[in-house]
Amino acid sequence: MKYSLSLTQKLSFLAACLFTIIAPVMGYLTIGLAPVIIVGGSALIGLLCWSFTYLRKPVEPRIILPLFILTVAGLQIHIVEEYLMGFAPAMSRLFDIPWSEKSFLMVFALIGPIIYTLTSLGLYYKIPIAGFVAWFIFIGPGVAEFTHFIFPFITPNLLPHNPRSLTAAIEGTVIPEMPNFYFRTTGHYYFPGMWTAILPMVPGCLAIYRLLIKNKPT
C-alpha cells in the first residue's frame, strides 16, 4: 500500500532537512569541525529514523513524552557537571576550537530548555516536527554521550603534554583557563560530563528501542 504524506508532514520534513544542513554549517562557521560531526551526524541519523517512524505514524504521548522528559532532565543535570568542570574550554583545547563558556551556556542552558519545553508540547499534540527534535535529542545528547568516555584518550591539539590550564586566542577569540584532561598527561581518567553522561543515555536509548521496535508504522 502506497503511503502519502500530508502537507503538514511534508513541511515538517522540509524543516527537518533544513535544520540538518544549516545547524552543522553554522556550527562549523562559529566553532569548527567538531559540531559538524556531532550535531550533523546526530541530525542526519535522527532525520532518517524519524522519517520512517514518527513522521509517518506519530506515537502516543504516553509512550514518547515521559522518556523525552527524562532524557532532557538527565541532560540538564549532565550540563551542570559540564559547566562546573569546564567542558567548553576543555573541548577548545582538545580540538583547537573557539568554544567559550558564554556560547556554551547560551545554547545548552538558555536556548536548549526553551526548545525542550516547546517540543514536549508538540509531542503531546503529536506535531510531526516535534518528533524530529525528540529523535535528535535521543541520538545526540542521548546515545552520543558515550564520547565523553573517549575524550580522555584523544591527544589535545594545544600543548597536550602540559597539565596546566591554558589561556590562548583561537581564531580571534580568547579562551581562558582551558584545562587538559589528556589521560597520558594527567594520569586521571576523566573528562567534564563523564560522571553524568549515563543519565540522558538510558532513557534516550530506551526511547529509540521503543520507537524502532515497539511502534513500527504499518
Sorted by where each begins, the domain ranges of the chain are 7-214
Indicate whether this model's pTM tops 0.75. yes
What pLDDT, on a 0 to 100 scale, did the predictor assign at position 34? 74
Q: What is the mean pLDDT of residues 28-57?
A: 86
Q: What is the mean pLDDT of residues 49-59?
A: 92
Instruction: Give backbone dihedrals phi and psi of 54, rounded to 5 degrees, phi first.
Output: -60, -35
What does pLDDT average to over the chain? 91
SS3 content of the chain, % helix, strand, coil (to 5): 65, 5, 30
What pLDDT, on a 0 to 100 scale, did the predictor assign at position 1? 43
Helix (H, G, I), strand (E, B) or coil at 195: coil
What pLDDT digit, counting tens, does each position of 140-186 carry?
A: 878 889 999 999 999 999 999 999 999 999 988 999 999 999 999 99
User: Which has the higher per-residue pLDDT, 29 or 103?
Assistant: 103
